[in-house]
Amino acid sequence: MPLLSPGQSPVKTLLAGLAPVVFVLLWATGFVGAKLGLPYVEPGTFLVLRFLIVIAVMAPLLLLLPDQRPRSWRQTGHVAVVGALMHGIYLGGVFVAIGRGMPAGLASLIVALQPLLTAAVVGPLLGERVGARQVVGLLLGLLGVALVLSGKLAPQGGPAGDGSPSQGFGLDALAFVLAALVAITAATVYQKRYVQHAPLIGGAVVQYLAATLVVGLPALLFESGRVVWSGELVFALGWLALVLSIGAVSLLMLLIRWGEASKTASLFYLVPPVTAVMAYLLFGEALGPLALAGMALTVLGVALVVVRPRGR
């Protein structure tokens, strides 16, 4: 379907064309924002602060917009499950991995395998056919990630010879980001199956309340709760809460309303390289030739799965 009718103004046509790209750029900043704020606060505490800001902004709107409240306790429960998976375990895994030294670009690359995991594992479980294009994409994606990890997890070859992982992270960080990958995949499938028509604002409040419980309990048990307030942390919190959690998600809903959901999905495979460029410019996270080749293979693999050939 066309994005806009022929009678629409050129300005709105331009905005509609730029919106998917803007959304992907905003999404990529989520990984960079985590890297920016984590030196000043532990991951769980960081996320709890972020979620509470979102709830404080959006919850009062439910008093003014009663049609945005969840329609039943059953719907509320389904939305809470999505929130626990998508914002709690997914973001929690990514933030902990980055906090333990994983480069933001690599974390973005691994969780970008979500379409591949959905096509290869979840699709067949739901009776969906996996085509040759998806199989090739899966193999390329896995090969690309293996190439990137082969350098990032290799022992240091320096004189010390202490065998510590390169780039300052090890298998624990990898385990957390893999848990995030599984969580975002499960959340996507669950949302498609059980949460199709939840109101945007009420659904967001329920999701972030559930995520706060999921992240908050481990934070109370295993973190100190210490926050070193700084300009970088305040900026990261404000950006992630207001621009990303509220702005980017609202833009996604607008794209779906405009009929551009498929175009937005096709651009998601650009998130890892965009994140890698941002992380390099801001934090000096450099990728070697092998890692760059692996990222290119992974992006190609995800593109094969996500981008639909014309005429289908």
What integer pLDDT is reported at residue 300 of this predicted model? 85
Q: Considering the domain boundaries, does residue 63 fall inside one?
A: yes
Query: In the prediction, which pLDDT does 267 show?
Result: 65
From CA 191, how far away is CA 164, in angstroms rounded?
Answer: 40
The predicted pLDDT at position 269 comes to 74
157-171: per-residue pLDDT in tens? 333 334 333 455 788
Distances from the Cα of 104 to the Cαs of 94, 176, 284, in angstroms? 9, 13, 11
pLDDT tens digits for range 114-129? 877 777 776 666 666 6
CA distance 160 to 120: 42
Q: How many domains does the chain have?
A: 1
* β-sheet bridge partners, residue 155: 165
Distance separating alpha carbons of residues 306 and 137, to the nearest angstrom? 9
The Cα–Cα gap between 259 and 2 comes to: 8
3-class DSSP assignment, residue 156: coil
Q: Tell me, what's the pLDDT at 77?
A: 95
Are 19 and 251 in contact by the 8 Å Cβ rule? The answer is yes
Judge whether 55 and 205 are in contact, CB under 8 Å. Answer: yes
Inside any domain, residue 18: yes
Domain assignment present for 44: yes
End-to-end CA distance of the chain: 13
Tokens at 294, concatenated = 């692996």
User: Alpha-carbon distance 236 to 275, whole Å?
Assistant: 15
3 in any annotated domain: no
Q: Evaluate whether residue 77 is within a structural domain.
A: yes
Q: In the chain, which stretches have pLDDT less than 70?
A: 1-17, 122-130, 150-168, 252-268, 306-312
Q: What pLDDT score was predicted for residue 170?
A: 81
Q: Are 274 and 28 in contact (CB under 8 A)?
A: yes
Within a domain: 311: no
Domain assignment present for 228: yes
What letter does residue 269 receive in the DSSP assignment? G
The count of other CB atoms within 10 Å of the CB of residue 145 is: 21
pLDDT in the model for residue 176: 96
Parent domain of 165? 10-306
8 Å CB contact between 94 and 180: yes
Would 5 be classed as within a structural domain? Answer: no
Collapse the DSSP code of 155 into the 3-class scheme (helix H, G, I; strand E, B; otherwise coil) and give the result: strand
